[in-house]
Structure 1
Amino acid sequence: MAPLPHVTDTALMHFVIPTPSDVPLQPSLTIGLLGPSAQSKSALVQAITNKKRCKHCVPPTWRYTHVKIYRSVLYNSQKTKYCAQTGQFPDSYTDNEGRDWQFIRYVSFVDGPNLLAAALDAALVLASPQSELIESTQKINNWAIIDDCQNIKQRQRVRSGSGIALPPSVQSILEYICNLPIPRWDLTKPPQMRIIQSVDPNRPGQSCDGLKGGVAYGSITQGVFRVGDIVELRPGRFSRDRTTGRFKCTPLVTRIQALHTDETMLTNAAPGGLICVSTTLDPTLTRSNRLIGQFMGPRGTLPLIYTEIDISYQLLLCAKNNLFTVGEVLMANIGATTLGVKIIAAAENKATFQLSAPICGQIGDLMVLSRRRRGVWQPVGRGSIESGVVADVIEI
């Protein structure tokens, strides 16, 4: 396989805090580790970062670690060697052996990212003959980032592999990560972020003077957030009208108090990596992942809120003979949101879903559809939003 052109991260520094170092303040890529449990995902992270495992968030619904990758050229043989470091490291340093290392790439590894379908820029799949591998890869709904030609080539490369397994070394993995193309984000559009986790940062028994606002973790998809911005969260709080049966949504409005990634404080946050946003929201609104799946952005710029959606879908080979029927209940993964849907109309490749909770989404958003089999939800197809019924919104 021909090597990809080398790309550094120094070109990404125009949207972060000015700094004399060439190391950007936030990761440029979010890489997910896919595979069944007990498939050496933590061992791979340990081999790369010399850490036992990724850091746990609270609550531990996913694990992450931020890694800075350095490159050194051996003067004797002119061979290139790579290493990974965590924590605060400069743009270049010299090790105990007198070897010079230069910063190349800043990435974020996420372990168990089935919940982070909307937050991943790349994925590292640990192949296994187990059926869980197929399910975990099918739940990632970023099919749109790989074109059909590239997908066919990858399938042919996997199926026509050699009879002897040649495990890649850590050097090969780091080299390939350094050559991955950086996504081209649009920084001129109004900022948007999908919230993938929310927590209450206050400890039990915290005094009133020391109370902090709610904290949300997410992935920025476009634009730049700044400390002090007034933002809106959709769909916010919602309830069902008992007379009409329609949902009434009240978007939440808050102010960004702080931005940081890992242990680095930011004044501006752009797409790339996982961003922690400290807000002025009531902590009871953010505890226990109550804001998961919400959209964050300036008021008047976020997508519409839907209670019913019309989709076009494609079934997997295992479900070709079991088409959707009216009245059937499915589970849909839309971005970071997981909710139940009821089919109220169905055709060969079209369907209309009644949602168990309102969602904020855009036309064309992808979703994974799962059907309950033997007490377990299993993916049976994928779909995309074409239109929908807009919910009643109460503006504050």
Structure 2
Amino acid sequence: MKRRICLVGYGKRVGEEFLFIMSRILVGFDIDTVMGSGVADAVSSPRANQRAFEFRLGAEKRREKSEGGKKKRVELRASTWFGERKLRNREGRRVSLSAAASLPWRTRVSVSAIFVSRSARSEDAVSRIEATINIGTIGHVAHGKSTVVKAISGVQTVRFKNELERNITIKLGYANAKIYKCEDERCPRPMCYKAYGSGKEDTPFCDVPGFENARMKLLRHVSFVDCPGHDILMATMLNGAAIMDGALLLIAANESCPQPQTSEHLAAVEIMRLQHIIILQNKVDLIQENVAINQHEAIQKFIQKTVADGAPVIPISAQLKYNIDVVCEYIVKKIPIPERNFISPPNMIVIRSFDVNKPGYEVDEIKGGVAGGSILRGVLKVNQFIEVRPGIVVKDENGSIRCTPIYSRIVSLYAEQNELQFAVPGGLIGVGTTMDPTLTRADRLVGQVLGEVGSLPEVFVELEVNFFLLRRLLGVRTKGTEKQGKVSKLTKGEILMLNIGSMSTGARVVAVKNDLAKLQLTSPVCTSRGEKVALSRRVEKHWRLIGWGQIQAGTTLDVPPSPI
């Protein structure tokens, strides 16, 4: 059966030459063309490998006429959401679209290369509908992390009953916000910066007195990952750190600096190679000016020779929304959007999963499970077939671990309330699937990896890790001698907690030699060699960060072949 692809022009008439060339490239597809605005549609047989092509076809044309009556040479570029670039053939050589049309089928371009790297113009287009950067809020318990997120985005991240009763964050919170700047250069800073929820229009009016007629320009669409600050929830914080591109470190001005989890969280983001940090000195409305100045000096001393050395320290009051516009300005200026990989097969870390069905639903109303997380690379598309690893993990009669990947199809993509046809690396995405919702309820998929069928990394049950231990325990108030706070060496047989991506799992130390350890995992992990691992040890009934490592090798599980 032939697959049918619909090429849609966005607002501008699509050149006939371009469509002719694309029809030559897409051999094996029935091609329909639609002029004018619309959304690209792709219809495929269930067994066929699903490929959706979302073109923004206002194609840039370059025509060169040579004299002497020779044939006209036409070279065209696909102008996609992700910028403009010539395609590459399977050997990696650049091929223009016009040249690709004349290639034999075996050497023709891989059409997935049409999803290409971002440009300034395409970045603006994407950021209107979904977030392009993840920023975490870290710091000690009750220092105002959730309040800052609410002040910027307007979203209350504390949602669960037990969280509201205790007034602390327990699960990872999430919220999106758009940051704008007034287009009138005379508008005074920092008031010219303003943050709204993700549902705000693209060009709202400025609300600074005297500039009400000026429009604002969208500069950033941000996903906030609100981490818990309590010491017993350190594993949850480490899971959130796996997807952060930058962090806001909250330090309460009415307490001494540093508090236990302030230093522990800072060490954790340093382990995760997070470079861009902004420090917020919160609750300045509760103290005198001289106290704030003294604590500012203490903060500067604390961050010396850490990853946050030289980071800006902004005095704020999240409750009163004081200096929130300054925070928005520094997010725009100090936390850049990292380069993203749109070409590789999609790979997404799952940090939350849900069953969105309510009791009493009719059978035909039941929806599939929803996975929430951040795409590391590649592009996810509606109707794409996906795989989740490790999937369903069981032990057989002999006690051996077996895993069966979950295969499903994407039925919807959401960035908060914005429904998407495709999702790119960057912010937090909700992926609606056809899988049984009992597999996703109550965060059961947390730590798993979602991606294109057959493209995900291997599943490991044993790891060989090159590790580095901290000199002292962080986040522990030690009494008596200093020796109590030192991190002792790893010993054979002890149990550790590993954080790999968003997966938290136990591990038994099988062997140790110098700075190399062999670890037997309590549950299998989908990861790859070279990935970073956070190591925690149980100290006084709590898991404490003691170091980090890098995966060198390991023992993998045999995964059943894909039925799709």
Larger Rg: 2
Cα offset, 1:187, TM superposition: 0.5
2:260 matches 1:106 = no
Deviation at residue 95 of structure 1 after TM alignment: 4.1
1:68 is aligned to 2:234: no
- What secondary structure does 1:284 align onto? helix
Q: Report the number of matched residues.
A: 376
Q: 2:205 aligns with which of 74, 91, 94?
A: 94
1:213, 1:283 within 8 Å by CA — same for their partners in 2? yes
Aligned in 2, Cα 1:146/1:77: closer, same or farther, shift over 3 Å?
closer
Shift of 1:317: 0.8
Q: Kindly provide the amino acid, as one letter, of the partner of residue 227 in structure 1.
A: V
8 Å CA contact 2:182, 2:214 repeated in 1: yes
Structure-2 change in CA distance of 1:322 and 1:201 (3 Å): same
Q: Output the TM-score relative to the length of structure 2.
A: 0.61
Assess if the C-alpha contact under 8 Å between 1:43 and 1:52 holds in 2. no
Per the alignment, in what secondary structure is the counterpart of residue 146 of structure 2? helix
Q: Partner residue of 2:231?
A: none
Report if aligned partners of 1:233, 1:251 keep a CA contact under 8 Å in 2.
yes
Q: CA deviation at 1:53?
A: 3.1
Alpha-carbon deviations, 1:57-108, whole Å to 9, x = none? 8997222221111112566576562011114333223246334322211111
Instruction: State yes or no: 1:377 paired with 2:501.
Output: no
Cα pair 1:56 1:62 within 8 Å, conserved: no
- Letter of the 2:173 counterpart: R
8 Å Cα contact 2:135/2:222 also seen in 1: yes
Matches within 5 A, 1:1-396: 24-49=128-153, 51=154, 53-54=156-157, 56=159, 61-72=171-182, 79=189, 81-95=192-206, 97-112=212-227, 114=237, 115-127=239-251, 128-140=257-269, 143-146=272-275, 155-156=304-305, 167=315, 169-179=323-333, 180-243=335-398, 245-318=399-472, 322-395=488-561, 396=563
Return the alpha-carbon distance in structure 2 between the equivalents of residues 19 and 45 of structure 1: 24
Contact 2:271 2:534 in 1 (8 A): no
Query: Which one-letter code corresponds to 1:132 in the other structure?
Result: Q
Show CA shifts across 1:170-229 (max 9, x none).
232211211222111111101101111111111123221111111100110000010001
CA-atom RMSD, angstroms?
Answer: 3.0
Q: Return the TM-score normalized by structure 1.
A: 0.86
SS in structure 1 at match of 2:529: coil
In structure 2, runs of 5+ residues without a counterpart are 1-79, 84-114, 164-169, 229-236, 252-256, 277-302, 317-322, 474-485
CA contact (8 A) 1:118 1:142 kept: no
Deviation at 1:333, TM superposition (A): 1.0
- Give the strand-richer structure, 1 or 2: 1
AA partner of residue 342 (structure 2): L
Which one scores higher on RCO, CA 8 angstroms, separation ≥ 6? 1
Provide the C-alpha distance between the structure 2 equivalents of 1:342 and 1:126, rounded to a whole number of angstroms. 34
Task: List alignment gaps of at least 5 residues for structure 1.
Answer: 1-10, 148-153
- Contact between 1:189 and 1:222, CA under 8 Å: does it hold in 2? yes
- Whether the aligned pair in 1 keeps the contact of 2:242 and 2:272 (CA below 8 Å) is no
CA 341–294 in structure 1, closer or farther in 2 if over 3 Å, else same:
same
**Do the aligned residues in 2 keep the contact of 1:69 with 1:83 (CA within 8 Å)?**
yes
How many Å apart are 1:23 and its aligned residue? Answer: 5.0
SS of equivalent to 1:318? coil
Alpha carbons 1:198, 1:289 under 8 Å: kept: yes
Alignment deviations for residues 143-188 of structure 1 (CA, whole Å, 9 cap, x no partner): 33549xxxxxx635977999xx861632322112112221111111
Q: Determine helix, strand or coil for the equivalent of 2:304.
A: helix
Pair 1:77–1:221, CA change in 2 (3 A): closer
User: What's the % identity of the aligned pairs?
Assistant: 34
In the alignment, the residues of structure 2 paired with residue 166 and residue 239 of structure 1 have an alpha-carbon distance, to the nearest angstrom, of 50
